[in-house]
Amino acid sequence: MTRAVIELDRVDRYFGAHPAVLDLSFAVMEGEIVALLGRTGAGKSTALHMIMGVLEPTGGTVRVEGLDPYAQFKALRGKLSVSFQNDRLLPWRSAWENVALGLDILGFDRETQRSRAIEWLENVKIVGAENVRKYPHELSGGMRQRVSLARALCVDPALVLLDESFSQLDHVTSKALRADFTELVRRLGKTCVLITHRIDDALEMADRILVLAAPARLALEVRVTRAGRADPGWLEAQHAAIAAAMGGEDEDRGEAA
């Protein structure tokens, strides 16, 4: 972890008179997996949109790879990609064509697009000529989300943003996909920001958890080590502390259990 891939410095974002993000500062280092954790309305999606460059901060500065993602929108081409809560696959493109979307935009020829897309589908455990040619409506929810993750990783971005990417899947599928994705991202050394409202997801995947309380300001920062993740007592204590910082119980815990 040598340099900051993302830097937010005293960032505010107002919608009218309503502050969605207030005086938010943090940095994400290269190769780090950071979870932005908060309840609905805590401002985590607003923070994500500012990192993506689709929303301009009202105050403060946002830097991604040293660039202003809003003002220098095109300069971050190929350096940043996003996977969303719902898969958002283009219905007219097959699985491999969806994965190749970013490569198409980056100007790769069709043969390269196809071979790299198939390679990435294999990385997310979608194999077989028949499966890669399927259209989104022919895939299960879990497979569609895997395609969405492969699409985000296929352009070899420096930064991967996940916006509640696992929250619409059933518990078993979500757990398997989280494990596969985390292993893949760590192996590739990608920097990743995970937006979630589930404490267990954050504790399982992230190196560092930034807990946001509405309007988005840093309420707690937790570093998660491999030893801590293996210790049920430590996990339980962190879970309680994070829940308190978020302002209540983890609403998904019962469901997840």
Binding site for another protein (CB under 8 A): 52, 54, 73-74, 76-78, 80-82, 84, 86, 88, 90-94, 101-102, 104-106, 135, 137-138, 140-141, 155
Alpha-carbon distances of 136 from 48, 62, 128, 152, rounded to whole Å: 26, 35, 15, 16
For residues 49 and 239, which CB has a smaller minimum distance to another protein in the complex? Answer: 49
Nearest to 82 by CA among 171, 195, 167: 195
For residues 36 and 214, which CB has a smaller minimum distance to another protein in the complex? Answer: 36
Q: Output the smallest distance, CB 160 to another protein, in A.
A: 11
For residues 137 and 187, which CB has a smaller minimum distance to another protein in the complex? Answer: 137
Q: Output the smallest distance, CB 210 to another protein, in A.
A: 22
Q: Output the smallest distance, CB 171 to another protein, in A.
A: 15
Residues pairing with 163 in the sheet: 195
Name the pairing type of β-strands 159-163 and 191-196.
parallel
Q: Which run of H or E residues covers position 212?
A: strand 208-213
Q: Output the smallest distance, CB 25 to another protein, in A.
A: 24
> How many helices (H) and strands (E) in the chain?
11, 9
For residues 110 and 253, which CB has a smaller minimum distance to another protein in the complex? Answer: 110
Q: Output the smallest distance, CB 105 to another protein, in A.
A: 4
For residues 91 and 233, which CB has a smaller minimum distance to another protein in the complex? Answer: 91
Burial class (CB in 10 A: 0-12, 13-18, 19+), 241: middle
Q: What angle do CA 224, 50, 87 make, to 5 degrees?
A: 75
